[in-house]
């Protein structure tokens, strides 16, 4: 009885421990389900490109502040001390004596530009524009990353459905192989039928393997965009399929372009670069003009001779500082006449750079116009393709069901059955591709309209 009781206790303990271990294991390997918005947020928070853009913003802000400080007068102070010794001629007597002298001199000076061709004021204006351009560049990088996240996210969803379809096809192929083997054993099928069934299983296994590899790569791609460890195990939230059929009638390419050109970072960045180039031309032109500046100085000094002469004692430190004060003010005019044509060359380069940025701005507008018109056309085509592939898959699935029933009773040969299965599988894959292509095209339109990307 004691052994039975011990056995019962050990059984219960083992059972409890197994539950604990199982629960811990399930908790440890639980996958985080990431929504499209969470994927975007993680990317914008962790991505190093965004961090680099933020650093550029900080540098542009410092440049702006420095250009403002450049308007202030300069102020500098100097202090020097000097000690000399050796034989020196002591006045008109012609007698040389060993002497030791000590002196201290100090002063301050200030300078302010009264006119410099407005280069400093224009530099401030340019740095303001460049700061705004840096911020816009950050927005552009974020926008590009968001589009990449959408593409990678939808690629995962597509590969998941593709893998499911491939596994379903593999299951059907294995079932058919088992059935063919049984029919061969009773003499109702030939070796050719069995070989055909084995070929279908091999093909289905290859498709499933390729689909699994593609899914793994797509998970890795999104993880790298989010800048999380590549070993992170996570899943993505699938969209509601019923909501993907967005009518295209409300999308007008010209209206979308008008709205996008007013807020799209690529266009705004190109416009700011053009504005900065215009100011750069003014700065270069200002350097051709004379510069007028005002300066002021204040200084004093102290001198001490170690060879004490009762007739000419060294004045006190404070008296010397008071008596040796010197003050000065002045103005200076600098006129550029010839410096190897460097200033004129800079002016010409600035004008050429302006023409380049104006061309780049127009190219950005043209590219956005083309992309949006193409996106609207692609959305319309994707809607039509999804409807067609859905109908085709429904038809092929019904046809396969009929062929399968007839094949099971020996009314259809293996070749016809294999053809029907292949047609169904291809129609299903085409429908999956069309479905996610439609989702992607609709989200691209939302992207250009500045809408939040959600499913």
Mean pLDDT of 432-436: 85
DSSP 68: H
Q: Is the pLDDT of residue 59 over 50?
A: yes
DSSP 3-state percent helix, strand, coil across the chain (nearest 5): 70, 15, 15
User: In sequence order, which residues have a C-beta less than 8 Å from that of residue 145 and are 6 or more positions away?
Assistant: 43, 44, 47, 49, 50, 225
Q: What DSSP state is assigned to residue 449?
A: T
3 state SS of 333: strand
Across the chain, mean pLDDT equals: 83
What pLDDT, on the 0 to 100 scale, is given for residue 17? 37
Higher-pLDDT residue of 327 and 309 is 327
**pLDDT, tens digit (0-9, with 9 covering 90-100), for 242-266:** 555 554 456 788 888 998 888 888 9
Terminal-to-terminal C-alpha distance of the chain: 64
Beta strands in 39-152 (DSSP E): 74-89, 96-115
Q: Single out the residue of 438, 449, 434, 439 nearest to residue 251, CA to CA.
A: 449
Nearest to 174 by CA among 215, 136, 205: 205
pLDDT per position as a tens digit, 88-106 = 665 555 666 777 788 899 9
- The pLDDT of residue 21 is 37
Mean pLDDT calculated for residue range 404-410: 83
**Of the spans 70-74, 109-113, 127-131, 374-378, which averages the highest pLDDT?**
127-131
Q: pLDDT digits over 150-191, tens only?
A: 889 988 988 988 898 888 888 888 887 887 788 788 877 778
Average pLDDT estimate for 38-46 = 91
pLDDT tier at 395, thresholds 50, 70, 90:
very high
- What is the reported pLDDT for 297? 93
pLDDT at res. 222: 94
Largest CA distance in the chain: 144
Q: Let me know: does 230 contact 181? Beta carbons within 8 Å.
A: no
How large is the C-alpha radius of gyration of the chain?
42
Flag whether pLDDT at 435 surpasses 70.
yes
For range 127-152, the mean pLDDT: 91
What is the spatial distance between Cα 40 and Cα 453, in angstroms, rounded to a whole number? Answer: 9
| Residues composing the chain | 455
**Which range (59-68, 274-283, 322-331) has the least confidence?**
322-331
- More confident call, 441 vs 134: 134
As a whole number of angstroms, the distance between CA 375 and CA 442 comes to 9
pLDDT, average across residues 116-121: 88
Which candidate, 38, 103, 165, places its Cα nearest to that of 436? 165
Cα distance between residue 425 and residue 169, in whole Å: 7
Q: Are strands 32-34 and 291-305 parallel, antiparallel or unpaired?
A: unpaired
pLDDT at 455: 61
Structure pTM? Answer: 0.74
CB of 210 within 8 A of CB of 144?
no
Candidates 126, 116, 68, 120; CA nearest to 353 is 126
pLDDT reading at 329 higher than 80:
yes
Please tell me which residue, 145 or 307, carries the higher pLDDT value.
145
Angstrom distance (rounded) from CA 349 to CA 355: 10
Residues 6+ apart with CB under 8 A from 106: 77, 78, 79, 80, 299, 300, 301
What are the tokens at 250? 């409300």
State how far the Cα of 182 lies from the Cα of 370, in Å rounded to an integer.
60
Q: How many Cα atoms sit within 13 Å of 368 on the Cβ side?
A: 25
Lowest-confidence segment of 49-53, 164-168, 214-218 by average pLDDT = 164-168
């Amino acid at each position: 009885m004691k052994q039975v009781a011990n056995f019962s206790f050990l059984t219960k303990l083992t059972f409890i421990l197994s539950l604990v271990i199982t629960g811990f294991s399930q908790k440890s390997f639980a996958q985080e389900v990431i929504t499209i918005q969470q994927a975007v947020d993680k990317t914008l928070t962790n991505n190093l490109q965004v961090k680099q853009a933020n650093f550029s913003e900080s540098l542009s802000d410092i440049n702006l502040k420095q250009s403002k400080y450049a308007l202030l007068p300069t102020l500098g102070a100097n202090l020097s001390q000097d000690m000399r010794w050796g034989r020196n001629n002591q006045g008109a007597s012609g007698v040389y004596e060993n002497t030791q002298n000590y002196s201290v001199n100090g002063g301050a000076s200030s300078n302010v530009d009264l006119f410099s061709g407005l280069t400093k004021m224009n530099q401030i204006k340019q740095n303001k524009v460049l700061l705004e351009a840096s911020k816009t560049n950050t927005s552009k990088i974020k926008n590009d990353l968001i589009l990449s996240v959408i593409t990678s996210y939808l690629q995962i969803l597509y590969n998941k459905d593709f893998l499911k379809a491939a596994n379903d096809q593999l299951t059907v192929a294995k079932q058919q192989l088992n059935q063919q083997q049984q029919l061969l054993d009773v003499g109702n099928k030939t070796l050719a039928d069995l070989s055909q069934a084995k070929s279908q299983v091999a093909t289905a296994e290859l498709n499933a393997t390729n689909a699994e590899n593609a899914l793994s790569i797509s998970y890795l791609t999104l993880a790298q965009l989010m800048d999380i460890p590549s070993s992170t195990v996570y899943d993505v939230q699938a969209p509601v399929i019923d909501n993907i059929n967005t009518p295209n009638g409300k999308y007008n390419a010209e209206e979308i372009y008008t709205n996008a050109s007013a807020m799209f970072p690529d266009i705004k960045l190109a416009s700011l670069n053009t504005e900065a180039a215009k100011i750069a031309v003014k700065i270069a032109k200002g350097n051709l003009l004379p510069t007028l500046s005002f300066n002021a100085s204040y200084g004093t000094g102290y001198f001490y001779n170690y060879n004490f002469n009762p007739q000419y004692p060294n004045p006190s430190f404070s008296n010397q500082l008071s008596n040796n004060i010197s003050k000065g003010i002045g103005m200076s005019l600098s006129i550029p006449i010839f410096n190897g044509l460097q200033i004129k060359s800079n002016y010409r380069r600035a004008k050429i750079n302006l023409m380049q940025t104006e061309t780049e701005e127009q190219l950005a507008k043209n590219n956005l116009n083309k992309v949006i018109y193409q996106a609207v056309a692609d959305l319309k085509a994707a809607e039509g393709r999804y409807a067609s592939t859905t109908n085709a898959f429904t038809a092929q699935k019904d046809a396969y069901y009929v062929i399968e029933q007839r094949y099971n009773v020996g009314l259809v040969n293996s070749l016809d059955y294999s053809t029907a299965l292949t047609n169904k599988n291809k129609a299903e894959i085409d429908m999956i591709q069309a479905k996610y292509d439609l989702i992607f095209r609709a989200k691209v339109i939302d992207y250009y309209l500045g809408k939040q990307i959600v499913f």
